[in-house]
Structure 1
Amino acid sequence: MTPTILVADDHPLFRQALALAVTQVLPDARIVEAGSLDRAVRAVRDAGDLALILLDLNMPGAVGYNGVALLHAEAPAVPILVVSGADRAAAFAQVARFGAVGFVGKDAPLEAIEAAIAAALSGGRMTPDTDPPDDIAARVAALTPTQLRVLLGVLAGRLNKQIAHDLGIAEATVKVHMTAVLRKLDVGNRTQAAVAARALGLEVTG
C-alpha cells in the first residue's frame, strides 16, 4: 500500500520543501497538504491510512500546542513530527507531552529534515533533553477528539450551549463529555480543567 504523508504548514513554499524531503525518503509516498489546522484535521479523518504527519505549530487555527494535541487525539497511532520555527529547547518537551515523536527546526538542513522523517517513519522517537512528560500532560493527551474540543471550548470561555452549537452536538452530550474530561484530568470543575490545560500551552484565541 502506498504510504500517505500529511504535510500541514501554512506556507506553500515550505510545504513544497517538506514534500521534496518526503519524496527523498519515500519516493512513492502520497502527499496530502493542509494549510490550516481545520484542514489538517479533515485530512486525517479522510486519509484513513496515514503513515506520518508533518506539522507546523503556527498556522491558522493552531495556538500553542493544540494542533499536536488535536491531531494526536484524532489519530493516536500516527506519528507526528513537528517541523517548526519555534525554539527547540522550549518547544520539544511540550510537543512530546502531547504525542509528537520528534521535533526539527525549519532552519535545519534538508538532510536533517529527511533524517528526522526517516526516523519517525521507522518508529523512532526523539528524547527531549528535559524531564519526562508529567501526569497532567499525559491525561490531556489521553482525551478523545471530542473531549479535547470541549476542553478547548471551555478555554475559550464558551458555555455548554455554545460548545454544543460549535460542535454540532446536543448540550446534554457536551455535559457528558465535560464530566469525562474532569474525571480524566482528575480536577473538580471547569476552571481547574482550564487552568491545567492552559499551563500546558493549550491556549485558544477569542
Structure 2
Amino acid sequence: MTARRILIADDHPLFRQALRLAVSRAAPDAVVIEAGQLGEAVDAARAASRLDLILLDLRMPGSEGFGGVALLHAERPDTPIVVISSADEAEAAPRARAYGAVGFVSKTADLAALEAAVARALAGERDVASDLPPTDDMAVRVASLTPTELKVLLGVLAGRLNKQVAYDLGISEGTVKGHMTAILRKLGVQNRTQAVLAARAMDVHFAD
C-alpha cells in the first residue's frame, strides 16, 4: 500500500514540528511535506501525485485570509483540508468550511486534539456543523472560482493592476481580462470594485 502523503503549511517551524508529531501519532506511515508560505504549499499540492490531507494555517506569507483555503481546495478538490489557526473558532470555522475545509482546530489546542483532527480527516469525517452559523452565499461563490481565477482575484485584492497581475502569473494581460470577466460573472458583480468588496469576504480577524 502506498504511504499516505500529508502537506503541512505553516510559517512557524516550531508549530510545523508540533503538527508533524500529531501526524506521526495519527498516521505513522505518512510522508510529510512541509511549506512555510502559501506559494510553496500550492506548488507542492500541484506537484504531488497523491495527497491525502492538507493542514493549513490561515495566516502565512502569501495568504489573504481564507484565500489560501479556497486556492488549495480549487487545486486539490478531493483532498481534505484542516485549518489550524489562531483565528476565533466561532467565526472562522464555518467560513473555512465554506471555502472547502473539512475541519478547524485552534492553535491553542493540545496535541491530542491535533492528533484527533488528523485522524478524523484521514477517515473521511467532517466537523459537525449543525450548531455553527450558516455560511454566506458570497463565500460559496468565491470557492467556485478556478485556481487561476482565484490568483487573479487575490492580485486585484492586493491592489495590483491587470498588467501587474499578468506579470505575476506569467500570462497575458488579455488573459487576465478574460479571467476578470469570468470572475465578475461567477461572483454576480458588475465591476472590479465590487469584486474587491466580494474578495474581502475572505478576510478574518486573528487573535493577538
1:44 Cα deviation after fit: 0.6
Contact 1:24/1:114 (CA < 8 Å) preserved in 2?
Answer: yes
Question: Which runs of 5 or more structure 2 residues have no equivalent in the other structure?
Answer: none
Question: Superposition pairs for residues 1-206 of structure 1, below 5 Å?
Answer: 1-128=2-129, 129-201=131-203
Q: Secondary structure at the match of 2:8?
A: strand
1:90 Cα deviation after fit: 2.0
1:191 Cα deviation after fit: 1.0
TM-score normalised according to structure 1 size: 0.93
Instruction: Name the amino acid aligned to 1:50.
Output: L
1:11 Cα deviation after fit: 1.3
1:114 Cα deviation after fit: 0.8
Q: What percentage of aligned pairs have identical amino acids?
A: 63
CA distance in 2, matches of 1:133, 1:5: 27
Question: Which runs of 5 or more structure 1 residues have no equivalent in the other structure?
Answer: none
CA distance in 1, matches of 2:196, 2:181: 14
Contact 1:152/1:202 (CA < 8 Å) preserved in 2?
Answer: no
Contact 1:66/1:202 (CA < 8 Å) preserved in 2?
Answer: no
1:24-50 CA-partner distances (Å, limit 9, x unpaired): 111110000111111111111111310
What number of residue pairs does the alignment pair up?
203
CA distance in 2, matches of 1:179, 1:15: 39
Contact 2:67/2:202 (CA < 8 Å) preserved in 1?
Answer: no
1:7-33 CA-partner distances (Å, limit 9, x unpaired): 111111211111111111111100001
Instruction: Name the amino acid aligned to 2:88.
Output: D
Query: RMSD between aligned alpha carbons?
Result: 1.6
